[in-house]
Chains A and B, each alone.
Chain A
Amino acid sequence: MRDLVADNLTVALGGRPVLAGVSARFRPGEVTAVVGPNGAGKSTLLACLAGLRRPDAGRVSLDGEPILGLAPRQRARRIGFLPQTPEVAWAVDVETLVGLGRTPHSGAHGLSEADHAAVQAALVRTRMTGLARRDVTTLSGGERARALLARVLAGEPSWLLADEPLAGLDPGHQLDAVDLMRAFAAEPGHGVVMTLHDLGVALRLADRVLVLRDGALIADAAPLEALTPAVLERAYGVKAAIVSGAWGPLIELIGRVDD
């Protein structure tokens, strides 16, 4: 029962439904990708799952407890959240940035030995040890993404919720980021939920895919069963075929569906 469960989540913004009764169960050990067209409610769903947004109706529970009932610090220890286009306001060095991930654990008097150990472990995992003293504002896009991921990992959460973690990364860095998230999910009790735009990545690297359209879930299954031509047509209004490439299935875009 270590699952993260969304039960009938409903959110409206200015009269427009953003989430319309979304229910889903996320299990440890899985990397789940949430896909869908722009404005389908992916980010809102993720914010609700992270306990950062109160849904108008429905609820999210973690290990059977309602997530909004947890103290913010307790919630933050269990759920690591990587916002879309994360802001880093000050020119701090990478180690300081990663240390911020320890906020839910640390006391008033700065970081403890255990906190420092977790920071170092996160730097090693993301191969950022050599850049630990570098000013964050001088990092390249890929390095910055790794530093921010290290920040989340340093908090040692059970769940990693990432909003568009691959946006703006080149293919090599995208693969690095996905590898890190897969390795995280492979540890006992850990799970990953991320929103994605790249359907190819979702098809190849996720264990499970959720497809959202206008705030409603239209598919929730293993990648090949979720990303069918019929679902893609409904979600995006595109004609697509799933073809088998030399290394696995590929999505071939054919064109817009004519109205």
Chain B
Amino acid sequence: MTRRLLLLGGLGLLVLLLSGLSLMAGRVWVPWSAWTQAAQDPRWAIIFELRLPRTILAVAVGAALGLSGAVMQGYTRNPLADPGVMGVSSMAALGAVMTMYLSLSLATPWLLFAAAMIGAVVGVAVMLVLAGGTGGTITFILAGVILNTVASAGVALALSLAPSPWAAQEIINWLLGSLADRSADDVWRALPFIAIGSGLMLMLGRALDALTLGETGARALGIDLNLTRVLLAVGVGLASGASVAVTGMIGFVGLITPHLMRPLVGHQPGALLAPSAVAGAALVLAADILVRLTPSVAEVRLGVAMAAVGGPFFLALLISMRRRLA
């Protein structure tokens, strides 16, 4: 228990340090000394209007994705599950893209959030139904493949039928996933849903622990699995849906983070939740800082950078799992 608190404290400190760095780093370097010289300094606006929303969102989105990944891996008893692999992010993206396609997103930005979250909740619900009571690992993965395929087809359709090149460009830009140029409004739209969704997911620890013994085992221990499924669908849906709505698709965070935490806190799914949330925040924050510091004409997209790192990690994971099973 104390070891876990120590780890959480350490990770929290890391997030704080990275947050500070995130406020300083970018095209224009704003050192600590500039912060205190109040409003006269033009760099002040850079910190508070550009980098502060970006930093807050990086922490919130990272925590939401890390936590979603830990919850989904715990529920499916499958170390390869996360909102991306299971098609939840794609469903959220489909919802968001629909509002862009219909050109509703500019006039009423909250519609994009609502559509993304509805898409994500539907995604989790479909996955739970497809995988059913028998829920073997393969069924879950196949359910994810089906959802991803259907959602990608929908997005591709919206792109090809886009009313104007401008709408298509907007969709593509958003899909690539980035934290750049997010405003305080975006923070206020995403933060409440990420907080509620994360709160619901953090309530699942006991149920996920009990599911270590399978569904029958968990029910025999007095766990209400229907309640668990509802909390899971709404929790993952709100948190990852709001994340996708504000940043576009950022994959692999939910997949990688629990794996990074297992050597430190053990395999018990409930014990992984809080550390995965904090570590997810640190991961996205660090990645976003690196993206900003990369010397290139246009900023490398965060979603692209995560995929470039996450893909090989996923492969290494599969290879090591094969070796363990062989």
Give the CA-CA distance A50 to B221 in the complex, in Å.
11
Contact A83 B224 (CB under 8 A): no
Please tell me if the beta carbons of A90 and B212 are within 8 angstroms of each other in the complex.
yes
Are A106 and B206 CB-contacts (below 8 A) given A88-B212, A100-B212? yes
| B212 close to A97 (CB less than 8 A) | yes
Q: Is the CB of A96 within 8 A of B214?
A: no
Q: Does A87 reach chain B (CB closer than 8 Å)?
A: yes
User: Which of A50, A79, A90, A101 lies in contact with B268, CB distance below 8 A?
Assistant: A90
Q: Given the complex of chains A and B, what is the CA–CA distance between A79 and B210 in angstroms?
A: 16
Q: Closest B residue to A161 by CB, please name it.
A: B220
Convert B249-275 into 0s and 1s, putting 1 for each residue whose CB lies closer than 8 angstroms to a CB of A. 000000000000000001111000000
Q: Given that A83-B220, A89-B77 are contacting pairs, would A103 and B206 also be in contact in the complex, using a CB cutoff of 8 Å? A: yes
A73 to B223: give the CA distance in the assembly, Å. 7
C-alpha gap A83/B220 in the complex (Å):
9
A76 touching B221, Cβ below 8 Å: yes
Q: B190-228 interface mask toward A, CB cutoff 8 Å, 1 = contact, 0 = none?
A: 000000000000010110011111101101111110000
In Å, the complex CA distance between A155 and B266 comes to 23
CB distance from A115 to the nearest CB of B (A): 12
Contact across chains for B221 and A103 when beta carbons are under 8 A apart: yes
Residue among A71, A75, A86, A110 making CB contact with B217, cutoff 8 Å: A86
Decide: A104 and B213 in contact? CB cutoff 8 A: no
A125: Cβ under 8 A from any B Cβ: no
Residue A139 lies at the interface, judged by CB distance under 8 Å to chain B: no
A12 within 8 A of B: no
Task: List the B side residues contacting A71 at CB < 8 Å.
Answer: 222
A68-118 interface with B by 8 A CB criterion: 71-77, 79-81, 83, 86-93, 96-97, 100-101, 103-104, 106, 108, 110
Q: Is B28 in contact with chain A by the CB < 8 A criterion?
A: no
Query: B221 to A104, Cβ gap below 8 A?
Result: yes
Known contacts A83-B216, A103-B209, A106-B206; decide if A91 and B267 are in contact (CB<8 Å).
Answer: yes
Contact-residue size bin, chain B (C-beta under 8 Å from the other chain) = 20 to 34
Residue of A74, A90, A108, A155 contacting most chain B CB atoms (<10 Å): A90
Q: In the assembled complex, which residues on chain B have CB atoms less than 8 Å from the CB atom of A74?
A: 222
- The chain A residue with its CB closest to the CB of B205 is A108
Within 8 A of B (CB), among A158-207: none
Check if A89 sits within 8 Å of B211, measured CB to CB. Answer: yes
A238 at the interface (CB under 8 A from B): no
Complex alpha-carbon distance, A108 and B216, angstroms: 21
| A131 proximity list for chain B (CB < 8 A) | none
Contacts of A47 in B (CB 8 A): 216
Asked if B1 is at the interface (CB within 8 A of a chain A CB), the reply is yes
Binding site for A on B (CB under 8 A): 1, 77, 203, 205-206, 209-214, 216-217, 219-224, 266-269
Known: A92-B266, A103-B206. 5 other contacts (CB 8 A): A77-B222, A89-B77, A89-B214, A103-B222, A151-B213
Which residue numbers of A lie inside 8 Å of B, CB to CB? 47, 50, 52, 71-77, 79-81, 83, 86-93, 96-97, 100-101, 103-104, 106, 108, 110, 151, 155
Q: 8 closest pairs, A vs B, by CB? A: A76-B222, A87-B214, A89-B77, A81-B220, A90-B267, A73-B222, A103-B221, A104-B222
The 11 listed contacts between A and B (C-beta, < 8 Å) are A52-B216, A77-B222, A81-B220, A87-B214, A89-B213, A90-B212, A90-B267, A90-B269, A100-B212, A103-B209, A103-B221
